[in-house]
Amino acid sequence: MKKYVSELLMIPGPTPVPSQVALAGAQNMMSHRSGPFKKLMLDLTAQLQALLQTNNEVVILSSSGTGGMEAVVSSCFAKGDKVLVATVGNFGKRWVKLAKVYGLDTEVLEYDYGQAVDPSAVKALLANDTEKKIKGVFFQMNETSTAVLNDVEEIAKVVKAHGALVIVDAISGFLASDLKIDEWGLDVVITGSQKAFMLPPGLAVVAVSARAKKAMEASDLPHFYLSLPAALKQAAEGQTPYTPAVSLIYQLSTAVKILTDEGLESILARHERLTQAVRSALRSLGMRLLNENDKTASRAVTAVYPPDGLNADEIRQRMKDDWGITLSNGQDELKGKIFRIGHLGHIDPKDVLAVIACLEIVLSQLGMPGIQWGKGVQAAQNVLARK
């Protein structure tokens, strides 16, 4: 007899989609060249600017977040330009791959898994660039593969002092942690629909500064569908260069209204609270976190090693089979060595308590010695009960 369990998606993306957002995608299709769609896009862009805390131009691309990253690389640089990538995990390495694909002279500042970018190291490296050959610095706001939050503000300060473009992948970090685009002087920021926006995958939202737009004038790299200049030109009229993902835009409009009603302060506090609850619970169970630094801990996901003698893949499989809870694997060299618990987007305290309670049972059944049922749950409760 087949066992019935409800599904709970606890990964850092795609994240669960609220019912009202899902239903928004079932609205009747409209012409993307119509007046009502133009108004929808113009209103949505203004709402996105408010959430992103920016007056910079914002475009919506019908692509994954990686498509937004590629659009930035191909639109803002010329072949042979020198760039710096500061990477703390798998998605930082994606910047490296993209830059090399487009023929950029790529310098890499790489950190061990679990460590954050050191702004002073970026400063020292840029200080050696006396001829100002480095045209852009790429880094992640939040690296989900290693559960690390970079200090965007401090990194941006040293990059701005040098004069290079500040380019931030905030796909998983936006709304989980604070991001002040204008105040911190960020030139390009990319976000994605399937993270804290609580949408299915398929949209990238990109905020572009006047400096970045100026840099586009010197770009000689090939781009067509993922052309930021074309997208910016059309966005000013509430349009897109090509047919957009209309249903996803309906959903984005609904999600942005939900997020705006909640308010940025509440959204950030919610993610902070869930992060502390998960980390406190895992530590109370004697488990080792990949990133033990609470200051640089991702507010979107927590990465944890399995207890000694237990297998990370088996833990994830048991959580899925017995309890319907999906957790993330590690990536690259960390695959099978860690598992990751997402707490991003449409996740609430009840979900966290359920995950910790079920994890305790799984760990006990797999033979973790000395585990006390309820100890992790109580640690999470102690955090979540605070006013």
Q: Count Cβ neighbours within 10 Å for each residue of 133-156 and write b for 16 or more, e otherwise.
A: ebbbbbbbbbbbbbbbbbebebbb
Name residue, tokens 């994954």.
64
| Rounded Cα–Cα distance for residues 150 and 157 (Å) | 13
| Rounded Cα–Cα distance for residues 180 and 178 (Å) | 7
| Rounded Cα–Cα distance for residues 171 and 175 (Å) | 10
At 385, is the secondary structure helix, strand, or coil?
Answer: coil
Start-to-end C-alpha separation, the chain: 45
Give every CB contact of residue 202 below 8 A, 6+ residues apart in sequence: 62, 63, 64, 193, 194, 245, 248
Give the rounded distance of the alpha carbon of 342 from its chain centre: 11
Q: Which tokens go with 10?
A: 């606890």
Strands 8-9 and 325-326: parallel
Instruction: Check if the beta carbon of residue 206 is closer than 8 Å to that of residue 181.
Output: no
- Among candidates 209, 226, 115, 201, which has minimal Cα distance to 168? 209
Give every CB contact of residue 214 below 8 A, 6+ residues apart in sequence: none
Residue 288 is assigned to a ligand binding site: no
| Rounded Cα–Cα distance for residues 156 and 152 (Å) | 6
C-alpha dihedral sign at 27, 31, 33, 39: negative
| Rounded Cα–Cα distance for residues 175 and 188 (Å) | 16
Give every CB contact of residue 326 below 8 A, 6+ residues apart in sequence: 7, 8, 9, 10, 11, 316, 319, 320
Cis peptide leading into residue 14 (ω within 30°): yes
At 317, is the secondary structure helix, strand, or coil?
Answer: helix
At 134, is the secondary structure helix, strand, or coil?
Answer: strand
Binding residues for substrate: 340
Binding residues: 340
